[in-house]
Chain A
């Protein structure tokens, strides 16, 4: 799950990670109020959308007075902010974060991610603050310091010191940085984060160390122990069809093509998208209906797929292992009767009782094409586009 910068900072603050003073605002007047209460000569107004690269898109501005902060917020709120991560249509700004301005001496990068190759969390630190870490990794990999954390020992003080020394810090900044690293690690573990990125981390002229920006993602699998995080979800940031699908426990991801697909199993769903492309079509979505594939899930799947007006044909690909194909066929037939399907439908069922299933489909009186293999299914659905 992704959250906004202001939410990430509120969480980090709770865990003792230093962040600038600030508050979120949803109107120009509110932004002006926040700026006034901060009382610093300069404040920063930051558009709150999930995408990165906001500064370059005009989503981060400096104001020299509360009045100016209000004006800037007024312009930002409601605008379609375009960054390299939003796509050309941009994202509408619904909130701004108004923060104290800081007397910055230097900017750094700090991140924690899971290193999948060894199953350990890894701290990454770099003196190249404000630059995308992927860019630094590609161009100057030697500028990234890494420390892998043993889960039994946790982040050891020696590791925190190594990172802080590695960044060239000394004095108060050094002490504050090691404290920052420990607090950040604690926050990551306690919140079941899947990513924590502080870019930039800043050291002020007086030696304070703060998270000027903060990005946190959470592990969806751990939500059962963080029920309060559900309210941090911002549905405005998500594709409406995906939100709708999630209500039915369907795993749906919208893509740009015109062949809708409904599959059981994530791997087979990806493979089905791939073979559609190989056959000359473009997949319109990823949809894993899971193990059940009963009338209800298939019906909801149809509704979601067909709400995408780009869809010109639909392919159902189910491998019935434990689930019997004849049952799935009955589900498909029933669902197809309940939902008005005005595009060609190709169905491929394989596995237990596949022959009976094909017969059921053929006798159903529905206008659908029955495919015998994965390849046959892909070529039939692509042919149906013409």
Chain B
């Protein structure tokens, strides 16, 4: 088993004919993801790479192909509308890759999704992968290995770093979820941990947080009270200055809140194995599993 995506995932791609959409759809198909549809308004009836049917609306795509997941590669000004279109069509899992969605748009989107119970990952994220089963996103598939450790992260390349450390030690992954680096995201650490807690094929979780917000502290409270599997954690930005946005829209220490130190402390108190160095994530997990 895995969380969010598996062999039964039938993916539709919004923005399939754009530069990013085209490139990564090909990569996803190559990895083995079942891409059943593309959605591009005005290009309905065409085919992507002579094989994947393109529809004008998500409604059409879902009705014709039974798509149950969406990947969004739509540019920022139109991303919120694309997300809500998929949610409205009843798509269960939405993965939004787009970086740069305005926060006020996400305020609306979040309320819209919450009202429908739609699970979204992102925006501004690398996506979700269940190694050997399904990849929705832009992560390099080959660094992953099938296995029993879940990964949750706000970052992209830092996640790849962690995954590679795990794979190099022969520790495979059940599912890796890049939750995204924005202030408002669909799936946060706590909701991702809940999914892994309920997954009998996940034995432990690597959690990679960063400065900004209090999502890691909320996750720590959940880990302390309810999560019953080992957690290995790293928080990026121990050396980040306050008041500065470190690349990700959500990575900012404001009003003294959101520092790496307070997050590490909360996670330690919750019983997580907290790594000071990003280079020790793999080895720490190896010890935690022993």
Contacts of A269 in B (CB 8 A): 246-247
**A150-B211 Cα distance, complex, nearest whole Å:** 27
**Contact among A222, A224, A321 with B104 in the assembled complex (CB-CB below 8 Å):** A222
Contact check: which of B102, B238, B247 meets A277 at CB < 8 Å? B238
Chain A, residues 258-282, CB within 8 Å of chain B (1/0): the string is: 0000011111111101111110000
Centre residue among B77, B103, B250 by max chain A CB count within 10 A = B103
Q: Report if A221 contacts B (CB, 8 A).
A: yes
Q: Which residues of A contact B (CB under 8 A)?
A: 114, 116-117, 119-121, 133-134, 137, 150-152, 189, 192, 194, 219-222, 224-225, 251, 253, 255, 263-271, 273-278, 283, 286, 288, 319-322, 350-352, 373-375, 378
Q: How far is the CB of B147 from chain A (nearest CB, A)?
A: 19
Cβ–Cβ contact B111 & A278, under 8 A: no
- Whole-angstrom CA separation of A116 from B257 in the bound complex: 12
CB of B6 to closest CB in A, whole Å:
23
Does B160 have its Cβ within 8 Å of any Cβ on chain A? yes
Given contacts A114-B103, A117-B213, contact A374 B161 (CB under 8 A): yes
B76, B184, B234, B246: which contacts A119 (Cβ < 8 A)?
B184
Report Cα–Cα, A320/B140, bound state, in Å.
9
Residue of A nearest to B276 (CB): A278
The DSSP consensus for interface residues of chain A is mixed
Please determine whether B213 and A116 come into contact, CB atoms closer than 8 angstroms: yes
> Which chain A residue shows the least CB distance to B114?
A119
Q: Among B101, B157, B237, which residue has its beta carbon within 8 angstroms of that of A274? A: B237
Give B216-260 interface residues, CB cut-off 8 Å to A: 218, 234, 236-241, 244, 246-251, 255-256, 260
Q: Is the CB of A266 within 8 A of B251?
A: yes
Known: A114-B103, A117-B213, A267-B210. A321 touches B279 (CB 8 A): no
State whether the Cβ of B158 lies closer than 8 Å to any Cβ in chain A.
Answer: yes
Question: Is the C-beta of B107 less than 8 angstroms from some C-beta in chain A?
Answer: yes
* B9-38 near A? 1/0 per residue, CB < 8 Å: 000000000000001000100000000000
Residues of A within 8 A of B213 (CB): 116-117
Mask, B187-227, CB within 8 Å of A = 1, is 00000000000000000000010111111001000000000
22 sampled A-B residue pairs with Cβ under 8 A: A116-B215, A119-B106, A119-B184, A219-B103, A220-B249, A221-B102, A222-B103, A255-B241, A266-B181, A266-B251, A267-B158, A268-B236, A270-B240, A271-B155, A271-B158, A274-B239, A275-B279, A319-B161, A322-B140, A374-B161, A375-B277, A375-B279
Q: Are A192 and B247 in contact (CB under 8 A)?
A: no
Within 48-106 of B, Cβ neighbours of A (below 8 Å) are at: 76-77, 100-106
| B277–A274 CB distance below 8 A | yes
Which B residues lie within 8 Å of A134 (CB)?
Answer: 255-256
Chain A residues with CB under 8 Å of B156's CB are 265, 267-268, 321
B255 touches A133 (CB 8 A): yes
Q: Taking CB as reference atom, which chain B residue is nearest A319? A: B157
B250 & A221 in contact (Cβ 8 Å cutoff) = no
Give the Cβ gap from A83 to chain B, nearest Cβ, in Å: 13
- With both beta carbons as reference points, the residue of chain A lying nearest to B24 in the complex is identified as A322
Within the assembled complex, what's the spacing in Å between the Cα atoms of A53 and B98?
A: 38
B residues adjacent to A (C-beta < 8 A)? 23, 27, 76-77, 100-108, 110-111, 138-140, 142-143, 153-161, 164, 181, 183-184, 208, 210-215, 218, 234, 236-241, 244, 246-251, 255-256, 260, 276-279
Task: Quote the shortest CB–CB distance from A332 to chain B (angstroms).
Answer: 16
Q: Are A116 and B184 in contact (CB under 8 A)?
A: yes
Q: A119-B110, A224-B77, A286-B247 are in contact. Are A267 and B153 (CB under 8 A)?
A: yes
A265–B180 Cα distance when bound, in Å, is: 12
Q: How far is the CA of A352 from the CA of B157 in the complex (A)?
A: 13
Closest Cβ neighbor of B154 among chain A residues: A267
Which chain A residues lie closer than 8 Å to B101 at the CB level?
221
- Chain A residues with Cβ below 8 Å from B212 are 116
Chain B neighbourhood of A374, CB < 8 A: 161, 277-279
**Other-chain contact of A268, B105, B155, B251 (Cβ < 8 Å):** B155
Closest to B109 in A: A119
Find the B residue at minimum CB distance from A224: B77
How long is the Cα–Cα vector from A112 to B250 in the complex, in angstroms? 17
Contacts of A288 in B (CB 8 A): 247
The chain B residue with its CB closest to the CB of A320 is B140
Q: Are B247 and A352 in contact (CB under 8 A)?
A: no
A350 to B282, CA, bound (A): 15
Residue of B at shortest CB range from A251? Answer: B247
Cβ contact of A322, chosen from B138, B155, B255, cutoff 8 A = B138
| Interface pair B157/A267, CB less than 8 Å apart | yes
Question: Which residues of chain A are near B237, meaning CB under 8 Å?
Answer: 270, 273-274
A114 touches B183 (CB 8 A): yes
A-B pairs, top 3 by smallest CB distance, nearest first, are A267-B155, A266-B247, A265-B157
A116 to B215, CA, bound (A): 8
CB contacts (< 8 Å) of A277 on chain B: these are 238-239
- Minimum Cβ distance to chain B for residue A226 (Å): 10
Contact A116 B214 (CB under 8 A): yes
- Assess A221 versus B210: contact at CB under 8 Å? Given A267-B157, A271-B236: no
A283: which B residues are within 8 A, CB to CB?
A: 239
Whether A286 contacts B160 by the Cβ 8 Å rule is no
Besides the known contacts A221-B100, A273-B240, A275-B277, 12 further A-B residue pairs in the complex with CB atoms under 8 A apart: A114-B183, A114-B184, A117-B214, A137-B255, A265-B247, A267-B210, A270-B251, A271-B158, A321-B156, A322-B140, A352-B142, A374-B279
